Amino acid sequence: MRFSDYMSQWLYGKDGYYATYKNIGKSGDFYTSVSTSKFFGGTIAKHIVSLVDEGFLEQNGVICEIGAHHGYFLADVIEFIYTLRPQLLQTLQFVIIERFDALQEFQKSYFKESFGDVVKLTHYKSLSELKCQNAFFIANEIFDAFPCELYYKGKSARVDGHEVFFDVDDAWVEQKAKKYHKDRGEIAKGYEEFALEMAASCKKFEFMSFDYGEMQARPDFSLRVYAKHEVIPFFDENIKREELFAKSDITYDVTFAHVRDAFLEAGVEFVELKAQMVALIDMGILELLEILREKADEKIYKQELEKVKILIMPNFLGERFKMVRFRKR
């Protein structure tokens, strides 16, 4: 089978890694910014309030998270909207795009436990089901989870018995490889369809996503497996792929130029790409910490400050992770 089909089965097959609830954080396979600090979602909430104030987002607009997994991120956003502008909870609509029924049920349960009947949550299995006038879309670590093809010096990969062979001719993959100046590495599949789906789902929106990678393509393979916080390069000679298959996360660095071009082709404006550190500070994470400092116990403030440092310090998540932002006006 083609590598993209193999990766799709690994992550999204009937027994795939993302098909069921997984712990993220200390007890899981990896950390995310969401699992690090509630102030990650809080900063997005502050940004949403600013979008309402500037008139880009209507008070009855849709707040939609794509690929929410636990639902913690959107719940953190809602919690901080309540703190910053509680009346917006009466008018904003909250949506999660989640393909898996089991994860939808977990998210519904978590929201019921967190908010009771105060917040109404709507689920869709895909963006194509959502039709709205005005929205803010948010995602965390989504683009690195799109299945990819592997490319090496003119040939694409196939997989047989968990072994990889570069002997397939694929004109589309080769065209993308040349466009992004790669003679080897990952070529993501699905960005173009995803951008078109989002553009068709809503007349006016902003989309913000956080992921790791760079604007320009890496010159080598970045494909790797995360298992209990151990990073295993996919082409490590000692890797046991059959044992890791569907039981651990598989990912790669995002080429943001490819993401940008997919949205531009769909008629969506590229706004910016910046380091997570810069993005969170620009959107007001430090101001949120000051509010906490004024209202909370010093011990609580210091605990949250240490968590926020992980989000914004260059040697932690601050520099490696990037925020990309798009708008359809």
pLDDT digits (tens, 9 = 90+) for 215-264: 999 999 999 999 887 999 999 999 999 999 999 999 999 999 999 999 99
Tokens encoding 146:
């799109």
Compute the residue count for the chain. Answer: 329
CA distance 88 to 60: 8
For the packed helices 38-54 and 285-295, what is the interaxial angle rounded to 10 degrees?
110
Q: What is the pTM of this model?
A: 0.95
The mean pLDDT value for 132-144 works out to 97
State mean pLDDT over 11-36.
73
Question: Comparing 31-35, 63-67, 168-172, 207-211, which segment has the lowest mean pLDDT?
Answer: 31-35
User: Does residue 61 share a domain with residue 40?
Assistant: yes
- Work out the number of other CB atoms within 10 angstroms of the CB of residue 28: 15
Mean pLDDT across 260-271 = 98
Whole-number Å distance between alpha carbons of 150 and 162: 14
pLDDT band at 82 (very low <50, low <70, confident <90, very high): very high
Q: Calculate what percentage of the chain has a pLDDT beyond 70.
A: 97
7 pLDDT more than 70: yes
Residue 160 in any domain: the answer is: yes
The pLDDT score that the predictor gives to residue 31 is 60
104 and 173 housed in the same domain: no
Q: Is the pLDDT of residue 144 over 90?
A: yes
Confidence check: pLDDT of 24 > 60: no
| Total number of domains in the chain | 2
Give the CATH number, domain containing residue 322.
3.40.50.12710
CA distances from 224 to 105, 248, 299 (A): 30, 10, 38
Tokens of residue 114, six digits? 């967190």
Asked whether residue 26 is assigned to any structural domain, the reply reads no
Lowest-confidence region among 23-32, 46-55, 121-130, 223-232: 23-32
- Structural domain including 93 reads 31-145+189-214+253-328
Query: Could you tell me what percent of the chain has a pLDDT over 90?
Result: 92
Residue 248 lies in a domain: no
